[in-house]
């Protein structure tokens, strides 16, 4: 489902009427000199992209290639980081560092090795929103928060739109205050609302927002609020 080097516009999933895939295509690059590491990360990346209904290409390299490939998400081992000249043109996750958990500075992330599959999933969700390429879609299905809406639920979209806007506004209001518990509760409800309409990427980002509230990470809270706002219909 995630062939290496796949062209988003030619990928067979995009020719399926009603396919629930996300409306953007993500190019992922992995650079790691350790075969077991890069192979494991490639497997996890493909599996988590499938779980998010995100179509992607996954290109794996032992060393940083020249010329630099296009990418929306780059996984770069600490062993390659110092010598790699790939420009930061997308989201970059440098792993194998001394970081405890994910340490985010905008779209640059430091992480220990091994990454968890949950971390990989969250990075894919964020990267496809920020750096995914708009893919050609056949069929004219209603796209709500990135995924097609099931036909039987299309009539409820206006109500969901109001609910999402209200919950997201409540989350944003909690960013600068001390209402982390309240913000986490709103993010949890936002996640459930998105999942009920098959909006898997939005729900994943809402889950990360909930975690950020629980951990009291204001920088991450603001980051995920911004990503969700970019997907939320007005």
Average pLDDT on 150-173 reads 90
Whether 12 and 127 map to the same domain: the answer is yes
**Domain boundary residue, one of 106, 134, 162:** 134
pTM of the predicted model as reported, rounded to 2 decimal places: 0.88
Tens digits of residue pLDDT in 59-95:
999 988 888 888 999 999 988 877 787 777 899 999 9
**Domain boundary residue, one of 134, 160, 192:** 134
Residue 193 pLDDT level (bands cut at 50, 70, 90):
very high
Average pLDDT on 195-216 reads 94
Whether 28 and 66 map to the same domain: the answer is yes
Total structural domains within the chain: 2
Whether 83 and 169 map to the same domain: the answer is no
Q: Are 202 and 179 a contacting pair, CB within 8 Å?
A: no
Whether 161 and 108 map to the same domain: the answer is no
Strand, helix or coil at 213?
A: helix
Average pLDDT on 31-59 reads 95
Quick one: pLDDT at residue 153? 84
Structure tokens at 117: 């599959």
Quick one: pLDDT at residue 177? 66
Whether 121 and 155 map to the same domain: the answer is no
Structure tokens at 136: 């050609």
Whether 21 and 53 map to the same domain: the answer is yes
Domain assignment present for 111: yes
Of the chain, the end-to-end C-alpha distance in Å amounts to 32
Quick one: pLDDT at residue 144? 78
Whether 183 and 107 map to the same domain: the answer is no
Tens digits of residue pLDDT in 5-22:
444 444 433 433 445 789
Domain assignment present for 227: yes
**Domain boundary residue, one of 108, 134, 160:** 134
Quick one: pLDDT at residue 233? 74
Whether 23 and 120 map to the same domain: the answer is yes
Whether 178 and 129 map to the same domain: the answer is no
Half-sphere exposure at residue 53, Cβ-oriented, CA atoms within 13 angstroms: 20
Quick one: pLDDT at residue 19? 52
Domain assignment present for 78: yes
Whole-angstrom distance, CA of residue 204 vs CA of residue 222: 16
Domain assignment present for 3: no
Quick one: pLDDT at residue 18? 45
Tell me the sheet residues that pair with 111.
95
Report phi then psi at 167, rounded to 5: -65, -40
Give the CATH number for residue 37.
3.40.50.2300
Tens digits of residue pLDDT in 89-140:
899 999 986 766 778 888 999 999 999 999 999 999 999 999 999 865 545 5
Whether 127 and 157 map to the same domain: the answer is no
Whether 24 and 123 map to the same domain: the answer is yes
Q: Considering the chain, what is the average pLDDT of its residues? A: 85
Cβ-Cβ contacts under 8 Å for 37 (sequence gap 6 or more): 77, 113, 114
Whether 171 and 105 map to the same domain: the answer is no
Q: Which domain holds residue 177?
A: 151-231
Whole-angstrom distance, CA of residue 52 vs CA of residue 202: 10
More confident residue, 40 or 101: 40
């Amino acid at each position: 489902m995630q062939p290496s080097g796949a062209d988003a516009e030619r990928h067979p999933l995009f020719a399926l009427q009603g396919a629930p895939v996300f409306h953007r295509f993500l190019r992922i690059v992995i650079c790691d000199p350790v075969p077991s590491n890069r192979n494991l990360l490639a497997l996890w990346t493909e599996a988590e992209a499938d779980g998010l209904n995100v179509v992607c290409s996954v290109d794996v390299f032992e060393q940083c290639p020249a010329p630099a490939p296009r990418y929306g998400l780059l996984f770069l081992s600490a062993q390659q980081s110092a010598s790699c000249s790939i420009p930061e043109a997308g989201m970059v996750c440098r792993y194998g560092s001394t970081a405890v958990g994910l340490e985010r500075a905008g779209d640059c992330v430091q992480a220990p090795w091994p990454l968890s599959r949950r971390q990989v999933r969250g990075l894919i969700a964020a990267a496809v929103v920020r750096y995914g390429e708009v893919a050609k879609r056949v069929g004219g299905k209603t796209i709500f928060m990135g995924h097609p809406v099931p036909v039987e639920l299309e009539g409820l979209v206006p109500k969901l739109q109001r609910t999402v806007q209200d919950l997201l506004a409540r989350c944003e209001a909690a960013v600068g205050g001390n209402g982390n518990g309240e913000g986490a509760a709103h993010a949890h409800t936002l996640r459930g609302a998105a999942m009920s309409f098959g909006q898997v990427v939005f729900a994943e980002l809402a889950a990360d927002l909930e975690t950020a509230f629980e951990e009291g990470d204001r920088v991450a809270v603001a980051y995920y609020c911004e990503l969700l706002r970019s997907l939320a219909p007005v």
